[in-house]
Chains A and B, each alone.
Chain A
Amino acid sequence: MTKTALQFRHNGRDVALFVDGGVNLLVALRESIGDMTPKFGCGQGGCGACSVLIDGELHLSCLTLAETVNGRAVETLDGLKDGPNLHPLQRAFMEQFAAQCGYCTPGMLMAAKALLDRNPSPSRAEVIEAISGNICRCTGYEPIINAVLAAASGGRARA
C-alpha cells in the first residue's frame, strides 16, 4: 500500500511518520504514534469520542484525513495535563463524577477545552452547545455540564 510522509506537532512535540494512503487521523494517532487517548466510537462523525484540537479548533479525527494535518498542531487528551498537574477540567471531571465508563471522556474534555480556550466563562447554554456533538451513554450529561461550569469558574460552583 502506498505510504505518505507526514509531519505535524503532536501535543507540542514534532512528529514525523508514514501513513497508509487514505488513513484518517484517528488511526494515525492511535496506531502510528501510539496516542490511545482519542477513541473510536463510530468512525462516522456521530459520537465525538475521537475529538481532537487542530490548531486550537475542535475536529473529529475519524473524519479527518491524516494527510490534512501536515504542518499543523494537533492536541489530544494526552497533552492536557501540565506536567504532573491535572488541568482544571480534569480535576472538575474527577470531582463532579463527570465520567462513568470513561470512554467518551477524552472527547468531552477536548470539546470542553475548545470552549474554555475561546470563552473562559461560558453560560450553561454555551456549555451544552459546546458538547452537543459528544455522546455520553452513561452519565446523563448533567454532571459533565456541571463539571465544565465548575472548571470555568476556577473550581468555585456557580449559580
Chain B
Amino acid sequence: MLELRKDIFADERDDNLKEIGRGTQRQDMLGHVTGTSTYFDDHKLQGMLHLKVLRSPHAHARLRRIDTMEAERSAGVRRIIRGADVPRNLNTLLSLINFGKDDEPSLAVDKVRYKGEPIVAVVADSPREAYEAIAKVRVDYEPLPAVFDVEGALKPGAPVVNETYPKNTFVYHDVYDHQKLRFGDVERGFAEADHVLEQHYQMSPIEHAPTETNGSIAAPDTNGRYVVYTSTQALFFSLDTCAKILDVPSNTFHFIGGTVGGGFGGKVDTLTEPLAILGAMLTGRPVRYQLGREEEMQFGSPRGAERIYIKDGVMRDGRIVARKIRAYFDSGAYTRLSSYAVVKCVAHLPGPYTIPNVHGDVYCVFTNRTPATAMRGFGVTAMDFALECQMDKLAHLVGIDPMEFRILNAYRDGDMKAHRREAKNTALIECVQVAAEKAKWPLREEMRRMSSRKDGGGSRAAVSPTPLEPAPQGAAVSQQRTTYDRAPPATIQPPPPTPTPSPPRPPAPSPSHGATRFSSVFGTRRR
C-alpha cells in the first residue's frame, strides 16, 4: 500500500482519489493543437547568431593541428570557439552527484574518440555562413586504430579509447572495473541442476529520434546573467552542468524549458547549452545551436548496445537453482550515463524471481562509438529482454508452460532477494495471472490460486552460503570524487559513511553544490 507522509505532504492531495476511469483534460493540449506551445526554437531574438560545429570524420584520431585562419576570415563569422576557450573543458555528467571522473571535453583538444565528436564551433550571422566557415577549417588528423567491440576493448593491447580510463572500463569506487553481485554459490547450483542452459544476447544501440532535435538558444540578460531556452529534459541538471563547464555560479543562468519535443532520455546530456552560452558570452549576442538530424544521430547519444551472457541451472520440476550473468554495456567513447545504467542493471538481477544462487558481473566498457546514455528504462530494458527470452527457453527445456514457469519462480513477499533485502509488495504472480486471463491463456487451477502473499519467506528467506573472493588490489576504497570541487581538494577524504540500517540517512551534503540524486540506487548504501 502506498503511504503518503501526511505530516510532510499535508496539502499534497486527497487520499480519496477518484480519477481512474475518468477523462481529464491535459493542460498543455490546447497549446499543442493550436501550435502555440513554445519549444526552445520558437523564440526569435533580435540579433541572434547561429552556432555550428565541426565534427570528427574519424572514429579515433590524434589532432595534430587545427587551422582556423581561413575560417575566421569567412563572411558572416563572428567567432570561432576552440577547446582552449572552454573554461573547464572536461566534464562527466554524473560529477554533479560525485560519481565518475571528468572524461569528456566540450570541444576535442588532443584526440577525437568517435565519429561526430565536436572539434571547433563557429558562430556566424546565419547557419549557412557558419557551415561555409566550417568547411574552411583545416584539421590535420593522425588516424589511430579504433575498437568497436566491447569484449575486444577489454583484450590486452586493445587501443585505449579514453585516457581517463586506461583499461577501457569505467572504474567503480576507485577500484572495481565492474559491478558485481554475489549471492550463494552458482557453481554448486549448476552441479546440482538437472539442466544447464547458457545463452548469448546482443543488443543494438537505439536512437531516441525525438521529432524535435536537441538544441538551445542562449542570450545575454541584464546583470551579467544569461537566459537559456532549451530542449533539455533535465532543466536544473543542465543548468548545473553549464555552471561547472563555464566555471560560473549557477545563478548566472536563467533556464527556460519544459516544453520538450520528445526526449525519451535523449535530452538529458546537456549537449548544446554549454557552447550556446559560451557563444553568447564571447559575442555578447543571442546564440542558437540546434542539432540537425544527422548530428542528432551521430553526436546525440543512443541507448547503449549491451552484450549479455546468461547461464542458468534448472531442476526438472521447474525451479531455477542458479543464474550466472556476465554483461558488457557499450558506453561508447565517454561515460555520459552508462556507468549508472550498469548500477541499475545489477540492482535488477536476477529479474523478479527467487533464485538461491546468483552471480553477476557487469562492465561499462569504452569503445570508439557514439557515447551512450539514458533511454526509457536504461540498464534494465535490454537485460529484461534477455532474461525473459531465457525464461521461455528454460520453460521449453523442462516442458513447463512458460506462464506457469514464471509463476513457479516468481518472488513472493518475505523471500530474500539477491541483494539481501527482503522482497515486499511483490505482485508478479498476480500480473502473470491477469495477463494470462486477458490473453485467454489457460492456467491450471493450482496456478490460478497461487499468490504473492502466500508461501514466501521460510527457507526462501535464507541467504545461502556465499564463497568469498579475494579483494581486488588497488587504492583504498573511497567514494569517488571528481575534480569538480571548488575548494582546494582535501588530501584525505573522509571515510565513507558506515552503512546504517533503515531508515536510510540523508546523503552527506556535497561541499561544492547541491547534490542531485537520481534514484535510491545511490545515496542510501554504496555496497
Residue ranges of A at the interface with B (Cβ–Cβ < 8 Å): 1, 20, 22, 30-31, 34, 36-37, 39-44, 46-47, 49, 76-78, 80-81, 86, 90-91, 93-95, 97, 99-106, 109, 135-138
Beyond A41-B211, A42-B292, A102-B32: 19 further Cβ-contacts under 8 Å? A39-B212, A40-B212, A41-B212, A42-B293, A43-B293, A77-B35, A90-B34, A93-B32, A94-B33, A99-B29, A101-B32, A102-B37, A103-B39, A103-B262, A105-B35, A106-B35, A109-B33, A137-B209, A138-B262
Take A41-B293, A94-B25, A94-B30 as given contacts and tell me if A101 and B262 are in contact as well, using a CB distance cutoff of 8 Å: yes
**In the docked arrangement, what's the CA distance between A49 and B41, Å?**
14
Q: What would 19 A/B residue contacts be, using CB atoms closer than 8 Å?
A: A34-B44, A36-B42, A37-B35, A39-B211, A40-B212, A43-B293, A47-B211, A86-B34, A90-B33, A94-B25, A101-B32, A101-B212, A101-B262, A102-B261, A103-B261, A105-B32, A105-B35, A137-B209, A137-B210
A99 touches B44 (CB 8 A): no
Whole-angstrom distance between the Cβ of B29 and the nearest chain A Cβ: 5
Chain B at the A interface: mostly helix, strand, loop or mixed?
loop
Given A46-B293, A137-B210, A137-B211, CB of A39 within 8 Å of CB of B32: no
In the bound complex, what is the Cα–Cα distance between A94 and B32 (angstroms)? 9
Secondary structure of the A contact surface, majority rule: loop
Cα distance A140–B494 in the bound complex, in angstroms: 51
Question: Chain A contacts of B28 at CB under 8 A?
Answer: 102
B246-285: CB near A (< 8 Å → 1, else 0) gives 0000000000000111111000000000000000000000
Report A-chain residues with C-beta under 8 Å of the C-beta of B31: 102
Distance (Å) between the CB of B74 and the closest chain A CB? Answer: 13
Residues of chain B lying within 8 A (CB to CB) of residue A93: 29, 32-33
- What chain A residues lie within 8 Å of B213 (beta carbons)? 40-41
Residue among A43, A78, A100 making CB contact with B35, cutoff 8 Å:
A78
CB-nearest residue of chain B to A76: B35
Where the two chains meet, the residues of B that have a C-beta atom closer than 8 Å to any C-beta of A are 23, 25-26, 28-35, 37-39, 41-42, 44, 126, 128, 208-213, 259-264, 290, 292-293
- How far, in Å, is A113 (CB) from chain B's closest CB? 12
Q: Which chain B positions have C-beta within 8 A of A135?
A: 211
A43 to B44, CA, bound (A): 19
In the bound complex, residues from chain B placing their C-beta under 8 Å from that of A42 are 292-293
CB distance from A140 to the nearest CB of B (A): 13
**In the complex, A109 Cα to B71 Cα: how many Å?**
42
Is A101 in contact with B260, judged by CB distance below 8 angstroms? Answer: yes
Closest to B292 in A: A43
CA–CA, A134 and B26, complex, Å: 23
> Which residues of the partner chain B approach A97 to less than 8 Å between Cβ atoms?
26, 29
CB pair B35–A86 under 8 Å, yes or no, is no
| Minimum distance in angstroms from A17 CB to a CB of chain B | 14
Instruction: Please indicate the chain B residues that have their CB under 8 angstroms from the CB of A80 in the complex.
Output: 34
Instruction: Kindly state the separation between the CA atoms of A76 and B128 in the bound complex, as whole angstroms.
Output: 25
Chain B residues positioned under 8 Å from A94 (CB to CB): 25, 29-30, 33
Does B261 lie within 8 Å of A101, measured CB to CB? yes
- Min Cβ gap A135→B in Å is 6
Q: How far is the CA of A135 from the CA of B293 in the complex (A)?
A: 13
Residue of A nearest to B261 (CB): A103
